Amino acid sequence: MTFTTICLYIVTCFTVTVTPGPTMLLALANGTSRSWRVAGMGHSRQAKGFVFKLNTK
């Protein structure tokens, strides 16, 4: 790989990692407009769904 390709790869990885997904945006919106409990419930449901997704084949 050339130096330019490596730099482009690093920038792309950083951008993709920092950009929040739809679940995180929903949790942020619920946390700012309602309360931290509503955001926490949404986050726990998202985590349960992720675990369920990992455990199914």
Please list, residue by residue across 2-34, b when 16 or more beta carbons sit within 10 angstroms of its beta carbon and e when fewer do: eeeeeeeeeeeeeeeeeeeeeeeeebeebbeee
Q: Which pTM does this prediction carry?
A: 0.48
pLDDT at 57 over 70: no
pLDDT, tens digit (0-9, with 9 covering 90-100), for 26-35: 878 888 898 8
Read off the pLDDT of each residue in 33-55 and give the average, rounded to a whole number: 81
Segment 16-28 mean pLDDT: 77
